[in-house]
Amino acid sequence: MAPELFAIRRELLADATRSLRDAGLAEPRREAVRLWSWLVRVPAAAVPPDDGALISPERSAEFLAAVARRAAGEPLAHVTGWAGFRHLTLMSDQRALIPRPETEGLVDLLLARTRTGRVADVGTGSGCIALSLALEGTFDQVLGIDLSAEALALARENRRETAARVALIRGDLTNSLAARSLDALVSNPPYLTAAEYGALDPSVREWEPELALSGGPDGLEAIERLLVEGRRVLRPGSWLALEVDESRAGQCAARAGALGYTEVAIHTDLFGRERFLLARRSDAE
pLDDT at 36: 92
Residue 40 — pLDDT band, cuts 50, 70, 90? Answer: confident
Cα(246)–Cα(282) distance, rounded to whole angstroms?
25
Cβ-contact 187, 143 below 8 angstroms: no
pLDDT at 45 over 90: no
Mean of the per-residue pLDDT values of the chain: 93
3-class DSSP assignment, residue 209: coil
Cα(260)–Cα(280) distance, rounded to whole angstroms?
9
In sequence order, which ranges of the chain are alpha helices (DSSP H)? 9-22, 28-40, 57-71, 76-80, 104-111, 128-136, 149-162, 194-198, 202-205, 221-233, 249-258
Residue 195 backbone class (left: φ over 0; alpha: ψ -120 to 50; beta: rest): alpha
pLDDT for 85-98, tens place per residue?
999 999 999 999 99
| Domains of the chain and CATH, by start | 3-72 (no CATH), 83-280 (3.40.50.150)
Cβ-contact 168, 155 below 8 angstroms: yes
pLDDT at 240 over 70: yes
Give this prediction's pTM: 0.91
Cβ-contact 283, 263 below 8 angstroms: no
| Nearby residues of 3 by Cβ (< 8 Å), 6 or more positions away | 54
pLDDT for 246-278, tens place per residue?
999 999 999 999 999 999 999 999 899 999 999
pLDDT at 200: 93
